[in-house]
Structure 1
Amino acid sequence: MTGNGKRRTPLVADRRYPTKAAPKKKPPAKPAARRKAAPKRRKPRGLLGWMLLPFMWAFRLIWAFAWRIGLVVGLIIAGFSLYFAAQMPPVEDLIDGRTRGSVTMTDYRGEVFAWRGDQFGGMVTVDTVSDHLVNAVIATEDKRFYWHFGISPRGIASAVRINLREGRGPLSGHGGSTITQQTAKLLCLGVPFDPNEWESETDYENDCRRGSLWRKAREAVFSVGMEIAYTKDEILAIYLNRAYLGAGARGFEAAAQRYFGIPARALDPAQSAMLAGLLTAPSTLAPTSNLQRSQDRASVVIGLMQDQGYLSEAEARDARVNPATLSDTARANAATFFADWIMRSGPESFTRNTTEDVFIRTTLDQDIQTAAEEAMISVFENDVREGSEAQAAIVVMSADGAVRAMVGGRNIGETGAFNRATQANRQTGSSFKPFIFAAALDLGMSPYAMIDDARTCWSRRGAGDWCPENYDREFKGPVTLIQALAESRNIPAILLSEDIGRELVRNVANGFGLNGDLAAGPALALGVSESTLLDMTGAYAGILNGGSQVTPYGLVDLRIRGDNESLMDSQSAGIGERIISQDAARQLTWMMTKVVEEGTGRRARIDGWEIAGKSGTTQGSRDAWFIAFTGDYVTGVWIGYDDNRPLSGVTGGGLPATIWRETMTRVLADKTPTPLPMTIPQRPADSGLLQSQGGEVLDQDILNLLDSIIGN
């Protein structure tokens, strides 16, 4: 029933159990997107895992920082390397980096006998030198040269390990440097030499070789820059030209010429190995210093070349059996005293301080030089007691003053040594007497003039009388000037000097080149004044050439490399103005032959040769001289101690005359005797007699000189 009459929907109770609805047709399902499975967290496994966890975390943190820092450092290194690469000059500008030049000396024939300064033989490249040389350098210094990029981490690590194992610091000793790094050092990392900053080139080079960590870092960056700017062969060419190889040789071309007398392109395996071996310690291993040590080092290099396939077993064996040896010129190490004298006496701007490569032609005769050296060695080995510290010097020159040989001491071959021929001022003794007789003869006095060899005294203020004696302690009475000179008698020499005037004697001696402070009193006649052997020999050359002044010289011609113009036009040397007449000089020469034939110089006689000379021995035998000449050469010899100790039983007519004879016997061996330019004087009807004139009061200024009176 309904209350309102409207039809309502009948109430139906909910079904407790709904019936299954017919399945609806679903649209095809879209393929579900693949979901990435979340990584499973690795759980520490056991106690060990928990213990390693902090270390793993720290490692990840360090690595995160390290690769980022490494990237930044790498970019910085790359930037600086590119900067250095952009600044690199052409290779040709880096080949010769010397701040001073070289001096090459030749003898009178034009043959090279000595080098000084930094030698540079000219530019070479990898293609213009021997393949054996390139292989030897790479095998010795950097076997991975063509494979790395300028630095070798493996080489550095190996060097650090070796240094630590040997108890040094990691950067001390072995450096592990590549050829590129070594070249960077040679270039001083691009810093040029500035004389205002460094006192010398040595200080500059020492600064370039400093091994600090910062320096190593700069070196590595500069090396990479070189690898960017240049090819490997160009870098190697710089190295081959700039490396120092001992004995003043800069570069392998100079070294090949210096040691072997051949160009670098002609080097064989043994020679190449020797030169490459010098790179480790050039001054110590130089073959001119110790040939055996240099050959031993070369043998090691040969082994490296064989191990790396550059030499077969047979080639290596042949190189060891036939080791490299020095050329005759290098082996001789000739005339070091002469060469040093040329360097000191020549123009400073072209010798000691040259910035150019200079060639000097000299007056040296290497045959005569060898004769002098052999004579000195022979006499000291056979006639001087073993262990004697006595020294000697020899000078041989022509009549015009051209020095043909010079030995400045027994230390033959030592460069830079004290030269007793040119640097030692010693009392001359009776070797001074010929200049007294020269003055007398120039005044017209006859060699037959008589002079009284009698005891004579001179009074001294504040002291007793000075009564000089003859060497033999005897007085012979009236003697001729000839006999007085031949027997080197003191009293006649003093009387003659006093008679003609000391000032005239002094002027004649000065004119002949003895320019030292000559004594002011009667002792002038006994040679108490000092001189060098070179000056004394030059003064005797003045007698030989007829009485004209002689200036000893050794430098003939000087030229700059590549320049044909001689720079020697202003050189003043040789024969100068006339000092005594030619007739006086020729009579004096004849008188001096009597010294060798009959007097104190008899030991110097050589069969078939006319020889004129004079001996000299100072007070207490502190100096012994013998100077004499033939028709071609004047030779002077001095013997003494450097500390002025007395010699034992030595006079000028003894060992010095023996050395003179040994020298000249070798020099004259293959020559035809040359007559001396001399005049035999006529005996006058009345020679007169020069009496003793004593009693002079000597000034206090010359009192001290009289304590050094000559004995012979």
Structure 2
Amino acid sequence: MIRPLPAALLAAALLGPPAAQAAPGFAEVKRDFVPSEASLLDRHGELLQRQRVDMDQRKLSWVSLEDVSPAMRRSLVASEDRRFYQHSGIDWNAVAASAWGNLWHSRTRGASTITMQLAGLLHDDLRRKSNARSLSQKLSQAWVAQGLERSWRKDQILEAYLNLVAFRGELVGVHALSRVMFGKHPSGLNESEAAVAVALIRGPNATPRRVAERACAILKDEGVPEQCQGLEGRTELYLARATARRDLPGASDAPQLAPHLARKLLERPGQQLRSTLDAPLQRFANQALRRQLSGLVERNIEDGAVIVIDNASGEVLAWVGSSGSLSGAADVDGVVAQRQAGSTLKPFLYEQAIENRWLTAASLLDDSPVNLATTAGLYVPQNYDKQFKGLVSLRTALGSSLNIPAVRTLVMVTPERFFQRLQALGFNLRENGDYYGYSLALGSADVTLANLANAYRALANQGRYSPLRTRLEQGGAVRPVQVMNPEASFIVGDILSDRSARARTFGLENALATRMWSAVKTGTSKDMRDNWCVGYSTRYTVGVWVGNASGAPMWDVSGVTGAAPVWQEVMQYLHSARGTPMKVAVPGTPAGVVARTIHYQDQIEASRTEYFLPGTAQDDIRVARGADIRTAIAYPTAGMLSALDPDIPPQRQRIRFRAQGVPAGSRWVLDGKTIPESMRVQGSRDELLADWMPWPGRHLLVLQDSAGAQLDSVRFEVRGAVERAQVEPARK
């Protein structure tokens, strides 16, 4: 039976199709071409990263015909349309050959020209689906092809076809094919690669052997049969690259500078988004991180992240989410991954204590062993070096990152108040303050590098907090919120910039020292799983995390040896290579800050000039027991749940109430009833103790002074089967 193709083409040429399709212009087709990737640009328009967004097909950017190798152009015309440069859309010689072949049931090249195939690519209703095209489709295809030939040049037809034709699987266009299958730009395709590419047009899903056979036939037609040698093996490798789950080397010509931020920001195919990043800084931060981690491979460390923020605007200038090829989990974004904060939260704790005038930078804190009762048992904090320094000032305790003074300070501030402050600074902690308890002072909470660095930026901005910005088109900056006291923030920043305050733990010369004014803090989480260094100058905030994405502990790595060298290198670059004067101005002293020369009793610390909030200034700092302890109920803790032991007689069971820093004449009030003197236990001068025989239920314990004013209160619960009447205390 004679097939209808030749008759359809003849009708299209003489009479026109029943439903003619308009031929679009070349400029219109090129303009509307949308690659499957989106592009992330830096603040100056430089390309940082291309990120695939459309997962249905793989299309790279449009390439001009002169950027396609001559071998590819020759193979395409020789295989698909030998009379391409002679016909006007319909190859009548091919039509006649196809008709004759249909009559005698012999195989022919086919009558569809490159222009007709392009017509099918430009119109969805002309595109060939699983079945053969209908008669109406064939007529319209021929009509559109002739329209294209009248309005387009031959080179434009060939260029559009090469960018729109599907090759294998998800690969569309010669650019995607060349990059993914051959790892090169289309301009570099050789004869055998071009032959394999063209062979895929007729059989996109053919087996490697069949594709190699077709490609070999093309090579023989072109007079280079020697290229067939080993072609089947090479073809198998090429097609394997096309179906690989990850891009192999050469699959993209775009820089890979910010993959993690690109995944976060880019949303639609063809999108070009200008970010706040600075490309030279992004490169430098990336290189600095990789240099440092390359030198720490023997200490079981492979991952890291860096963020750089402009203090004034909140714009992120660098976002390095991982160490790239050094990491076994390079796709994990270390900038937003939740990790334990370690000692990096201490500045915010001390700021809160100074702000509320419970402590000053000159206050003496006791760095000695302490056991704190919690709902989970005794909490026994330790210093990093397992040693105790005795009485130290707050300035020394923070600068040298001593743990026990921080925990004592949190007892004063309370975990819940500190938790609320951290939430106001944008940490978005998952639990409440009582969940973390006193360990919150030492960074037991999980935080992200982005949130941590932005909180330090709030310190740099005298306590004002605002969200980060990563898009230039976000509009004006969000109005900052005053979260911390400006004067207290200044004092904490001054401590963090004080080399002498760090000397007890870190010495005077270390990776925290810079040639400009800077305030910085390190932190290391439990079991050395996370290592931080975050700090700021008057212009920039830099945060660095190093560790392992798997959570595996590092070996003998501290904040000074792990993250700090990267922090220092990036901070130095920011204030030298970028044209900023090396001597950055020291932050101005707020009007409310008082500077005084102080002296310590018994020369506990050297005399110095210290900063105070109004009304808290002192000249002579004397040792006073309890001076660093706020009046508070130490036990039971808020929300504590206790259970009576059924194996112990009720009359033998007790809960010891304990308050610290109490004035003379203070008393306990439980559920509105004063606990009698008979239940009191002798404690130290500033303690109030009482042994109480518990009964089941929810209780409110209040600490009152001699005048009946409430000093502190907690709610707790006791569970067990004991009659209330048996243990109810006598009324006063």
In structure 2, the residue matched to 1:426 is 339
SS of the residue aligned with 2:489?
helix
Q: What amino acid maps onto 2:362 in structure 1?
A: Y
Distance 1:132 1:100 in 2: 17
Higher relative contact order (CA 8 A, sep 6+): 1
8 Å Cα contact 1:514-1:531 kept in structure 2: yes
Q: What do residues 170-221 of structure 1 show as CA deviations (whole Å, max 9, x unaligned)? A: 99xx999853355245336436xxxxxxxxxxxxxxxx686x4636999866
In structure 1, the residue matched to 2:188 is 295
Q: Does 1:467 align with 2:372?
A: no
Distance 1:73 1:102 in 2: 38
Candidates 566, 578, 589, aligned match of 2:482: 578
Q: Does 1:228 align with 2:146?
A: yes
Q: Does 1:337 align with 2:260?
A: yes
TM-superposed CA distance for 1:280, in Å, is 4.3
8 Å Cα contact 1:544-1:629 kept in structure 2: yes
1:678/1:242 Cα in 2 relative to 1: closer, same or farther (>3 Å)?
farther
Distance 1:132 1:453 in 2: 71
In structure 2, the residue matched to 1:690 is 628
Q: Does 1:395 align with 2:307?
A: yes
1:655/1:245 Cα in 2 relative to 1: closer, same or farther (>3 Å)?
farther
TM-superposed CA distance for 1:358, in Å, is 5.5
SS of the residue aligned with 1:603?
coil
Candidates 177, 181, 199, aligned match of 1:284: 181
TM-score, normalization: structure 1?
0.62
8 Å Cα contact 1:151-1:181 kept in structure 2: no
Q: What amino acid maps onto 1:690 in structure 2?
A: D
Matches within 5 A, 1:557-572: 557=473, 568-569=474-475
Distance 1:411 1:100 in 2: 25
Matches within 5 A, 1:357-372: 360-372=273-285
1:235/1:599 Cα in 2 relative to 1: closer, same or farther (>3 Å)?
farther
In structure 2, the residue matched to 1:448 is 362
Q: What do residues 644-673 of structure 1 show as CA deviations (whole Å, max 9, x unaligned)? A: 222222222221112212333333333422
8 Å Cα contact 2:293-2:301 kept in structure 1: no
Matches within 5 A, 1:473-622: 473-517=386-430, 518-520=432-434, 521-557=437-473, 568-569=474-475, 573=478, 576-594=480-498, 598=503, 603-622=510-529
In structure 2, the residue matched to 1:347 is none
User: How many pairs were matched up?
Assistant: 525
Candidates 68, 74, 93, aligned match of 1:139: 74
Candidates 63, 69, 75, aligned match of 2:7: 75
Distance 1:95 1:224 in 2: 22
8 Å Cα contact 1:369-1:406 kept in structure 2: yes
Distance 1:238 1:700 in 2: 76
Distance 1:337 1:152 in 2: 54
Distance 1:603 1:130 in 2: 58
Q: What amino acid maps onto 1:295 in structure 2?
A: G
TM-superposed CA distance for 1:109, in Å, is 3.3
SS of the residue aligned with 1:440?
helix
TM-superposed CA distance for 1:80, in Å, is 7.4
Q: Does 1:183 align with 2:96?
A: no
The structure whose Rg is larger is: 1
Distance 1:122 1:280 in 2: 12
Distance 2:635 2:530 in 1: 29
TM-superposed CA distance for 1:74, in Å, is 3.4
Distance 2:93 2:635 in 1: 90
Q: What amino acid maps onto 2:304 in structure 1?
A: A
Structure 1 gaps, min length 5: 1-65, 159-169, 192-207, 247-274, 310-328, 344-351, 558-567, 704-712
8 Å Cα contact 1:457-1:466 kept in structure 2: yes
Distance 1:223 1:594 in 2: 78
1:216/1:530 Cα in 2 relative to 1: closer, same or farther (>3 Å)?
farther
The worse-fitting range, judged by mean Cα deviation, of 534-543 and 91-100 is 91-100
Greater percentage in strand:
2
1:73/1:332 Cα in 2 relative to 1: closer, same or farther (>3 Å)?
closer
SS of the residue aligned with 2:298?
coil
SS of the residue aligned with 2:549?
coil
In structure 2, the residue matched to 1:32 is none
Distance 1:218 1:641 in 2: 62
Q: What amino acid maps onto 1:478 in structure 2?
A: L
Distance 2:487 2:455 in 1: 17
Q: What amino acid maps onto 1:603 in structure 2?
A: N
Distance 2:287 2:310 in 1: 20
Greater percentage in helix:
1
Candidates 653, 657, 674, aligned match of 2:584: 674
TM-superposed CA distance for 1:381, in Å, is 1.9
1:102/1:503 Cα in 2 relative to 1: closer, same or farther (>3 Å)?
same
**Identical counterparts, % of pairs:** 23
Candidates 156, 162, 166, aligned match of 1:237: 156
TM-superposed CA distance for 1:543, in Å, is 0.7
TM-superposed CA distance for 1:443, in Å, is 1.9
Distance 1:645 1:515 in 2: 25
Q: What do residues 449-491 of structure 1 show as CA deviations (whole Å, max 9, x unaligned)? A: 1111222212244x54221212222222221111111221222
SS of the residue aligned with 1:278?
helix
In structure 1, the residue matched to 2:532 is 625
